[in-house]
Amino acid sequence: MPPGPHTVPLFGNLHMFPRKNAYLKFTEWAREHGGIYSLMLFSRPIVIISNPRIARELFEKKSASVSDRPPTYMIDLVTDGKYFALARYSSDWRRARSVIQKSLTKEACAKHEPILQAEAIQLMYDFMTKPEQFFKHTFRFTYSVITSILAGIRSPRSTSPLLTAFTDMLQKWSVILEPGAQPPVDLLPILKYVPERWARWKGLCKEVRAGQIELYDSFVSMCERRMEQDMRNGSLLESIIGEGKLGTDRALMRGTIGAFIDGGTETTALFLRSLILMLVSSPEAQSKAHKELDSVVGSERLPVPADFAELPYVQAIVKEVLRIRPVLPTGVPYYTTKEETLDGYVIPNGSTIFVHQYGILHDSEDYEDPDIFNPDRFLRSEFGTKPGADNTGRGNETHFGGGRRVCVGMNLANNSMIITAMYLLWAFDFKEPIDPITLRPIPVDINNYSEGIATSPNPFKCDIRVRSPLQASIIRQEFHSARPVFQRYEYDLSPEDAAYVRNQ
């Protein structure tokens, strides 16, 4: 097996496995033990890959035997084992993937551009009118895009009831998913029989399960009702229900819906928050992007997707944000279904494998000052690496995983990141806020991140201002012009949301 930290009898490395921010400890161990190393949790092998060449070999040559996910009792307790992103490799999983994949090809995503751009315009409008709530605006934007495409229902406010329920559920779900954060039930099955009053995790699983059933079933019910009333708007759920693509299995339908909404909402929202944090911390990078946008786009129109190819520095900013703060720093774990040999090491059957994105993207042998935000590195080399670095296996889409489990939403996510990065940089200055007492700028901390399987900047303050009166006027005009697009997805609004829309 690959080398790794010293084990102790019976427990292996359980005593040292990180309970929080596992990606930081994984990176520390990679510097000591190399690009592939192993841990043992009791008798279960864990393999951590922090080398792009080895990761590519895994995805391209071993994909058939690493397409599974680790068995996880707590996740199965919540989702009946049918949560698409974390489900075991099975006929149900393949059926769900086929349904989603066909709706998220590059050609299919082109059909989603009107609602994506309309929601991105509202994002600018919200930033302009209520800049202090920018954290909430990013989440509303990504959630509303995903639910419009999936279920045909949008959320015009950050306090929309469905969005509020989803946010509450997702926070609790993330606690269950974080590596090392919960008791090792899969390693010590006897823990399953501990009474609930002594096992807080059981109550948490019950709570999240109830929240998911209520929320995701409501999307199905709303869609069914619209279809009965002949008020279709082209959502993915309409074809799933109408053509019986997932049969009558409500648990499978919830697991497919849930993974689509959870992944699509959280990942892009966290990218946007990291983007803003890094821009506030780097006025120089922001200034370069503004000059490039002013030259290519100007201030009299919004950027369009075709502009992105002519904006190399904006491209570099997007790549650098994804490098320095990958949304899923440890990646989503894989699970071997037979013994394999990888880079000369034996990987036993039943091993959990982490393709450690943060470690790959923060290797000081490949990146100069890897913990510094510096988009210019991507102007000097394709992957932002040092001169002479070995780029075998490296790519700019590491964050989407690979093999048969590569993210099915990557085309939609890329489109969303591209349009929002251009819009926000075209429209706004992001600056450090001024302390009202000292009258000095309040610096932001680019290392102040949350815990969890997906990491987000902890809430921070910044000064967001529209770059010119002309751009402010264009944002208002484009927002009101987007009303016909929004209306297609507003059949099922709550009374409060409907009143909010009427008064805009």
Give the pLDDT score at 245: 83
Half-sphere exposure of residue 398, counting CA atoms within 13 Å on the CB side?
Answer: 37
What phi, psi does 210 have (nearest 5°)?
-60, -40
Each as own residue / partner, the long-range contacts of residues 395-400 (CB below 8 Å, 24 or more positions apart, any chain) are 395/52, 396/319, 396/322, 398/52, 398/55, 398/326, 398/357, 398/360, 398/361, 399/322, 399/326, 399/327, 399/328, 399/357
- Overall residue count recorded for the chain in this entry: 504
At residue 362's C-alpha, the angle toward residues 365 and 42, to 5°, is 105
Q: Say how far residue 205 (Cα) sits from the centre of its chain.
A: 22
Architecture of domain 14-502 in this structure: Orthogonal Bundle (1.10)
Classify residue 106 by its DSSP letter: H
Q: Which two tokens stand for residue 185?
A: 């039930």
Give the pLDDT score at 18: 87
Instruction: Give the model confidence (pLDDT) of 48-69 as tens digits.
Output: 999 999 999 999 999 999 999 9
Domain locations in the chain? 14-502
pLDDT (tens place) for every residue of the chain, 504 residues total: 999 999 999 999 989 998 888 899 999 999 999 999 999 999 999 999 999 999 999 999 999 999 999 999 999 999 999 999 999 999 999 999 998 888 889 998 999 999 999 999 999 999 999 999 999 999 999 999 999 999 999 999 999 999 999 999 998 998 888 776 678 898 888 999 999 899 999 999 999 999 999 999 999 999 999 999 999 998 999 989 988 888 888 899 999 999 999 989 989 999 999 999 999 999 999 999 999 999 999 999 999 999 999 999 999 999 999 999 999 999 999 999 999 999 999 999 999 999 999 999 999 999 999 999 999 999 999 999 999 999 999 988 888 888 889 999 999 999 999 999 999 999 999 999 999 899 899 999 999 998 777 888 999 999 999 999 999 999 999 999 999 999 999 999 999 999 999 988
DSSP H or E run through 429: strand 428-431
Of 329, 335, 361, which Cα lies nearest the Cα of 349? 335
Q: What is the pTM of this model?
A: 0.94
Which whole-number Å values give the CA distances from 139 to 262, 271, 286, 423, in the listed order?
11, 10, 23, 16
Instruction: Give the model confidence (pLDDT) of 86-131 as tens digits.
Output: 999 999 999 999 988 888 899 989 999 999 999 999 999 999 999 9
Give the pLDDT score at 175: 84
